[in-house]
Structure 1
């Protein structure tokens, strides 16, 4: 996905963030359900991505089709996608899939939001997805069964869950989606894509810190407190000594970098370490 579709997806993900602290698996399943309806109708996909129709018209179509059938949040998310611009008819489906998976991943993340690092739920989800992929890749009979067009989605889900009997509810939702609605991809490829989304989200809460010399335990504690306050949650800190740094520290959390170009935040961190 590139160009205008990429921009529309980025905007949708940014808007979704406000809903993620209280997200539920039901919301994700509703979005996956909407995706199934969109995927099943080429005419609907064309209508929702037709550049000659206004965003309001396309949004109204989604509300007409799904209003009262799913939650208000699901309708809002889907209608927001419809009101955006898409380079191809498939892109809106890909975006729906990404948003639904992101909701599932956020539910796993929120499970551990009060723990020491805030990322163990995501790690557990990634491990379950990895375990499933390995189990499928190592068994040709399972691969054939999951790709058998005559087998029902329900039967494939039952088989998939037997491969990871201890999987979390979040992992089961993503694995179930992959085996029942792979959307033209190999099941393991889609599961790995979901795992990549989880890994990317996990990186948002890992602070990679570069320093010119090792910090004392007291300084590390002050840095931890400062970063937790700055980002509003407990971060995991990965520390490394970088002799090429001229001075001070460099902190990266996700895509955000705190360094000499962000004077206010850098000054705040220096005061905390003083």
Structure 2
């Protein structure tokens, strides 16, 4: 399983690098970055979309038609649209979330920002995002771009990853630690 994850990660980085280079060459990096943010939000919000891109039973033609219809409806730029068409044509849509993350990491690195993955039990308000970004900037020392997602299984709290560092303040983890310590007592 670990090698499968590594293979998908490497694939995602290669595709993201190609998109990043193309966007930079065509001087549309900001537009493509906005498109990647929009795609990530769509994927976060729609279980149906996540199932669609991950499904191996959907034909290549249906994947292509579906993702291009989404791109048209979302008014994505030509570079993003062509990229999505290529990814669907190569049957690589399952790796799209990783491609988006890899693209955003490259963009943050280019801008001198640090990227933080934040998984919360419920959506963070705009004010919470601003406060969290300010606090992370104090800790890290430079601007922090937050990529937030929601995992209701956390029950409460959040998990924050910045580079190789991780802070897990989720209620689920606290309950697991308590359960382990209780087993040690008996």
TM range (shorter): 0.5 to 0.7
Residues 187, 23 of structure 1: alpha-carbon distance in 2 compared, 3 angstrom cutoff: farther
2:77 maps to 71
The 1-side partners of 2:89 and 2:101 are apart by 17
Q: Please list every run of 5 or more consecutive structure 1 residues that lacks an aligned counterpart in the other structure.
A: 109-120, 134-142, 194-274
Once the two structures are superposed, residues 220-242 of structure 1 have per-residue CA deviations (whole angstroms, 9 ceiling, x without a partner) of: xxxxxxxxxxxxxxxxxxxxxxx
Once the two structures are superposed, residues 70-120 of structure 1 have per-residue CA deviations (whole angstroms, 9 ceiling, x without a partner) of: 22223233343333445x95x4322222223323433x2xxxxxxxxxxxx
2:128 maps to 156
The 1-side partners of 2:52 and 2:66 are apart by 9
1:97 maps to 101
What TM-score, normalized by structure 1, do the two folds share? 0.43
Once the two structures are superposed, residues 132-154 of structure 1 have per-residue CA deviations (whole angstroms, 9 ceiling, x without a partner) of: 89xxxxxxxxx9xx9463x6331
Map 1:1-274 onto structure 2 (within 5 A).
1-3=5-7, 5-6=8-9, 8-16=11-19, 17-21=21-25, 22-67=27-72, 69-86=75-92, 91-106=95-110, 108=111, 121=112, 125-126=113-114, 147=120, 149=122, 152-163=124-135, 164=137, 171-172=143-144, 174-175=145-146, 177=147, 180-181=148-149, 187-189=159-161, 191-192=162-163
The 2-side partners of 1:30 and 1:18 are apart by 14
The 1-side partners of 2:132 and 2:83 are apart by 29
Aligned structure 1 segments of 4 or more residues deviating by more than 6 angstroms: 182-185
Over the aligned positions, Cα root-mean-square deviation in angstroms equals 3.9
The 2-side partners of 1:10 and 1:147 are apart by 25
Give the structure with the higher percent strand: 2
What TM-score, normalized by structure 2, do the two folds share? 0.59
The 2-side partners of 1:14 and 1:152 are apart by 29
Given that 1:38 and 1:45 are in contact with CA atoms closer than 8 Å, whether structure 2 keeps it comes out as yes
Residues 80, 69 of structure 1: alpha-carbon distance in 2 compared, 3 angstrom cutoff: same
Q: Please list every run of 5 or more consecutive structure 2 residues that lacks an aligned counterpart in the other structure.
A: 165-186
SS in structure 2 at match of 1:80: helix
